[in-house]
Structure 1
Amino acid sequence: MKLNVSATLTYGFGSATQVIAAIEAARSPDQTILSEELRIWPDTALIRDEDGATGERRFRAAFSGQVQITYRALIDNGERTLLPRDARQHDWSELPQDVLPYLLPSRFSPSDEFMRFAQREFRTVPTGGARVLAVLDWLHTHLDYVHGVSHAMTTAEQTFIDRAGVCRDFSHLGIALTRALNIPARAVSAYALDLDPPDFHAVYEIYLDGRWWLVDPTRLAPVEGMVRIASGRDAADIAFLTSEYNCQCLNQVITVTRADADAGQQAA
Structure 2
Amino acid sequence: MNLNNLVAVVTGGASGLGLSTVEQFVAAGAKVAVFDMNEDAGKAAEAAHPGKVIFQKVNVADAASARAGIDATLAAFGAIHIAVNCAGVGTAGKTLDRDSKALPLEAFAKTININLIGTFNISSLAAEAMAKNAPDEDGQRGVIINTASVAAFDGQTGQAAYSASKGGVVGMTLPMARDLGRYGIRVMTIAPGIFDTPMMQGVSEEYRQPLIAMVQNPKRFGAPAEYGRLCVSIVENNYLNGETIRIDGSIRMQAK
- What TM-score do the two structures reach when normalised by structure 1? 0.25
Whichever structure has more helix as a proportion of its residues is 2
Whichever structure has more strand as a proportion of its residues is 1
- What TM-score do the two structures reach when normalised by structure 2? 0.26
Looking at both structures, which has the greater relative contact order when contacts are Cα pairs under 8 Å and sequence separation is at least 6?
Answer: 1
**Which has the higher Rg, Structure 1 or Structure 2?**
1
